[in-house]
Chains A and B, each alone.
Chain A
Amino acid sequence: DAGVIQSPRHEVTEMGQEVTLRCKPISGHNSLFWYRQTMMRGLELLIYFNNNVPIDDSGMPEDRFSAKMPNASFSTLKIQPSEPRDSAVYFCASSFPPFGYGYTFGSGTRLTVV
């Protein structure tokens, strides 16, 4: 199994541009989570999906952020327009029942907005 795959690994963009981060969960996992990690705020849950349906998006910071999961093998996190304060490492994680197995994390996307 290739694990949770995120792309790109690094993204540098100018303020105001649209950014799209991608995630491919492990096959058979029915839950997907998007996290953001910064030095100041630590690890923050942005949104999570069960069976491709968004369950809780209360962690999404602003309307500039949106996430989709069109099918069981793909999810995107979009920021439009991007701002310097969005600079962070964004992680995707997936899991499957029974829940006791925990999450498997991707390697993350390091986003820098200049």
Chain B
Amino acid sequence: AQSVTQLGSHVSVSEGALVLLRCNYSSSVPPYLFWYVQYPNQGLQLLLKYTSAATLVKGINGFEAEFKKSETSFHLTKPSAHMSDAAEYFCAVGLYGNNRLAFGKGTQVVVIP
């Protein structure tokens, strides 16, 4: 079965600094990979997804993630953090033909002015 590990349950970043959220997956076959963002008192929103096309995926709000098969990673980055990026971020993995996603435990991002 597929699974994901998010390193760090909480991340603090200064406004304007690089945001880096780590996600490693476990899958026996090429996976689909997703990043979701959850703002306070809201549902999860799709930030970006990897579905076996380009390995560098660009998402909304300036975020991007790179699929690295050799490292089984799908880390999320944003060059310059904004106060509005304060939220919880979830990495998820799925397999083609299987519509169940496995979610990570989430990483809470705090942006320091």
What residues make up the interface of A, taking CB atoms closer than 8 Å to B?
Answer: 4, 31, 42-43, 45, 48, 50, 56, 91, 93, 95, 97-108, 110
User: Taking the complex as formed, is B84 at the interface, i.e. its CB lies under 8 A from any CB of chain A?
Assistant: no
Which of chain A's residues has its CB closest to B94's CB?
A: A99
Q: Give the interface size class of chain B.
A: 20 to 34
Contact assessment for B105 and A105 in the assembled complex, using a CB-CB cutoff below 8 Å: no
What residues make up the interface of B, taking CB atoms closer than 8 Å to A?
Answer: 32, 34, 36, 41-46, 49, 51, 90, 92, 94, 96-101, 103, 105-106
The docked-state distance in angstroms from the alpha carbon of A31 to that of B46 is: 17
Contact assessment for B44 and A91 in the assembled complex, using a CB-CB cutoff below 8 Å: yes
Among B32, B34, B41, B43, contact of A106 (Cβ-Cβ < 8 Å): B43
CB contacts between A and B, total, < 8 Å: 52
* 5 closest A-B pairs by CB: A105-B43, A100-B51, A105-B44, A107-B43, A99-B99
Q: Return chain A residues, CB-CB under 8 Å to B94.
A: 99-100, 102
Among B44, B90, B96, contact of A100 (Cβ-Cβ < 8 Å): B96
Q: Quick one: given A43-B90, A91-B43, A91-B44, are A103 and B101 in contact (CB under 8 Å)? A: yes
Instruction: Tell me how far the C-beta of A110 lies from the nearest C-beta in chain B, rounded to whole angstroms.
Output: 8
Contact assessment for A108 and B43 in the assembled complex, using a CB-CB cutoff below 8 Å: yes
Instruction: Tell me how far the C-beta of B94 lies from the nearest C-beta in chain A, rounded to whole angstroms.
Output: 6
Contact assessment for B90 and A104 in the assembled complex, using a CB-CB cutoff below 8 Å: no
A-B pairs with beta carbons under 8 Å apart, 12 shown: A4-B43, A43-B106, A98-B96, A100-B96, A102-B34, A102-B49, A102-B101, A103-B46, A105-B43, A105-B45, A106-B43, A108-B42
